[in-house]
Amino acid sequence: MLIDGYENEPLVAAEDLPALPGFWAAYLLWMCQTEENDPVPLWFGADEADTDAAYEALTDEDRWPVFRIPFADRHSVVIVGRNITDDQGTEYVVTHPEWDRHGHLATVDGHQAGPGLSWRELTHIAGTPDPEAPGIHAPHVRLLLLLPTLGDSDLPDDAATLISDALVRVGVGEDMAPVVADALLRDHPLWEPAEWALPSPSPLSGTQQHFPGILHCDELSSPRCGIRLAQGITREQNDRLARALGTWPTP
């Protein structure tokens, strides 16, 4: 498998991994950890052995898992398990076949960068799969895979319900799903909730590197704070990305 920027890495398509028993505990359990919460795999309806096996697949140094989430107009979010010894992490990037380089959404590791998506973008991407492109197309699976990138101070009232419903669909018990959803949304372990807005067109705003239509994040740790989401793209490519993200009107 070849992705720009990862040409020498042992990447493998991993779209089958979410079906593993224990996958969602291995992938999301860390997000539930707080001073008040000490989550266990059982929260996700999994046992320790299955969770350990799924975690080993996610962190295999010889087979870096890649999850492709294709959305509108040939864009994709690509999730890469960067399984370097002593420097493991997960990278979330947005790609397009016409771009010279990918856009950086978020990194989950010891030098984290995020948030990478607003709630509006997260749900729009999850709900607009491209059936012609390879990757994961089930909206509820896409939603949960992208959830670690979220950081939004303005969540809608039904956010927890939407996450809870997705959790039930991947095997979390109906009694536990609301508890897990609340834990996943309450306090992100790596970054604060951010405010998202379209950048001002004023050259004095500090966001003159932006074309219009792409949301700007006010959290300093985010790759989307003060720079364009995808560097080197044209205005026309920017507008197509903005429409694909659901943040720019359709012409």
pLDDT, tens digit, for every residue of 204-223? 444 445 578 999 999 999 99
pLDDT digits (tens, 9 = 90+) for 105-149: 999 998 899 999 999 999 999 999 999 999 999 999 999 999 999
| 59-108 pLDDT tens trace | 999 999 999 999 999 999 999 999 999 889 999 999 999 998 899 999 99
What DSSP state is assigned to residue 42? G
Is residue 189 within 8 A of residue 227, CB to CB? The reply is: no
Domain region containing 80: 11-244
Confidence of residue 241 (pLDDT cuts 50, 70, 90): very high
Q: What is the structure's pLDDT at 231?
A: 85
pLDDT at 201: 59
Position 144 scores a pLDDT of: 98
Supply the mean pLDDT for the chain. Answer: 92
For residue 39, give Cα distances in angstroms to 35, 123, 167. 11, 25, 15
What domain count does the chain have? 1
Judged against a pLDDT cut of 60, whether residue 49 lies above it is answered with yes
Structure token digits, residue 42? 């059982």
Position 156 confidence tier, pLDDT thresholds 50, 70, 90: very high
Residue 27 pLDDT grade (very low, low, confident, very high; cuts 50, 70, 90) = very high
The reported pLDDT for the residue numbered 3 is 79
More confident residue, 199 or 236: 236
Least confident of 176-185, 193-202, 227-236: 193-202
pLDDT of residue 28: 98
In this prediction, residue 7 carries a pLDDT of 84
Q: How far apart are CA 53 and CA 156, in angstroms?
A: 35
Any domain includes 5 = no
Closest residue by Cα to residue 18 from 59, 67, 62: 67
In a domain, 216, yes or no: yes
Q: Is 249 part of a structural domain of the chain?
A: no
Q: Whole-model pTM above 0.85?
A: yes
The sign of the CA dihedral 190, 175, 58, 76 is negative
Residue 53, pLDDT > 90, answer: yes
